[in-house]
Amino acid sequence: MAFELPALPFAIDALEPHISAETLEFHHGKHHATYVSKLNGLVEGTDLAEKSLEDIIKSSKGPLFNNAAQVWNHTFYWNCLAPNAGGEPTGAVADAINSSFGSFAEFKAAWNDRAVNNFGSSWTWLVKKEDGSLDIVNTSNAATPLTDATVTPLLTVDLWEHAYYIDYRNARPNYLNGFWALVNWDFVAKNLA
């Protein structure tokens, strides 16, 4: 069973002007596709070929982990974005954010600070902890909160340069402004539930 590159959940130009079709052609069509291809090469002919992506991530390390986790992280990230989205969350997501951070404005400021200062190729995540509270977690390289059984990933932003360099060059804060205009709060709400 070969892993496949999942289709984007929106048209390639649907996130403009915040994320260009050119960025998505490289980010999804080249980077994400390469992780899928490398993962398939690593599992082909092994007992891992029949395992789920999540099982591989939770039981591997090195190149196998890196490629599997990047396939999962990117797929999750695409679902965190949507055209005509963004704004502030409502309902249970808004309540959880307000309970954990004080207000959406305080959450957004903390998220931006953590994301801007997350060194190098990295990810910033909103996670739900076992007690139901929310937290912001930074990971480096391919690391993912999927390997931590005590948290549930709700939202992520990709902070590898290939996520923003075409559109924003080295201005990560400007990329984050575009990200907030695209956050798919419906996806976050499904993860929270």
pLDDT digits (tens, 9 = 90+) for 148-183: 999 999 999 999 999 999 999 999 999 999 999 999
pLDDT the model gives residue 61? 95
One-letter identity of residue 60: S
Kindly give, in sequence order, each residue whose CB lies less than 8 Å from that of residue 164, ignoring residues fewer than 6 positions away.
23, 171, 172, 175
Whole-number Å distance between alpha carbons of 133 and 23: 34
Domains of the chain: 21-79 (1.10.287.990), 91-192 (3.55.40.20)
Residue 170 DSSP label: T
pLDDT the model gives residue 41? 96
Q: Given 3-state DSSP classes, what are the helix, strand and coil percentages for the chain, each rounded to the nearest 5?
A: 55, 15, 35
pLDDT the model gives residue 145? 97
Residue 187 Cα distances to 35, 56, 184, angstroms = 23, 24, 6
pLDDT beneath 70, residues of the chain: 1
Residue 30 DSSP label: I
pLDDT the model gives residue 149? 95
Report whether 158 belongs to an annotated binding site.
yes
Length of the chain: 193
Report whether 27 belongs to an annotated binding site.
yes
Neighbour count for residue 147 (Cβ, 10 Å): 15
**Does pTM top 0.95 for this prediction?**
yes
Neighbour count for residue 148 (Cβ, 10 Å): 14
pLDDT the model gives residue 103? 98
pLDDT the model gives residue 168? 97
Would you give the distance in Å from CA 110 to the centre of its chain?
17
Whole-number Å distance between alpha carbons of 9 and 175: 20
3-state SS class at 58: helix
The sign one gets for the Cα dihedral 142, 139, 111, 127 is positive
Whole-number Å distance between alpha carbons of 155 and 76: 8
